[in-house]
Amino acid sequence: MRIIGGRFKGLKLNPPKNLPVRPTTDMAKEALFNILNNRLEFEGLEVLDLFSGTGGIALEFASRGAGRIEAVDRQYKCIKFLNDCSKKLGISSISTVCADVFSYLERCQSQFDLIFADPPYDLDKLVDIPQLVFDNNLLKSGGILVLEFPSTRKLADHPEPLEIRKYGNSSFAFYEF
């Protein structure tokens, strides 16, 4: 796992082997950030990283100048790893929340420019995430939700994504508010 761009470009991250995660591949992450680079200005961006796992996406946004990144995961060891990495790199823009993502979405009072969700691929409620984000008004006007999901899985019809991009076993659905 490495950081693809920004001030920490090329930095390799070595999370502990025992973390219950499936990190976004470097190939898929590079493709995702190429797409986002054409749609957003990263500097000052407010980002919510759901199911953050090792924090690779949060760290990527921090490396590219995002202003505020909130990373949510229910696994304490994942949160600890991300906090340790942030501290070691001197990143103050990342804050972490150790919580169940669905409970967090119900009580969150903030709005974000971009929300990235990379839930476990076998999660039954994966298809509910876009509707929860929209129902709880978590995106700012013009904001984008990106949902990573297995390419073999069908998403709910409502809300309908603007676009779906497939990269091997992983796909990204893009929603806009």
* pLDDT tens digits along 64-112: 999 999 999 999 999 999 999 999 999 999 999 999 999 999 999 999 9
Give the whole-angstrom CA distance, residue 105 versus residue 138: 8
Helix (H, G, I), strand (E, B), or coil: what is residue 125?
Answer: helix
Give the whole-angstrom CA distance, residue 118 versus residue 126: 9
pLDDT at residue number 165: 94
Whole-number average pLDDT of the chain: 93
Query: pTM for the full model?
Result: 0.94
Of 90, 81, 29, nearest in space to 55 by CA: 81
Assigned fold of 26-176: Rossmann fold (3.40.50)
Give the mean model confidence (pLDDT) for residues 109-132: 94
Q: Quick one: how far is CA 126 from the chain centroid?
A: 14
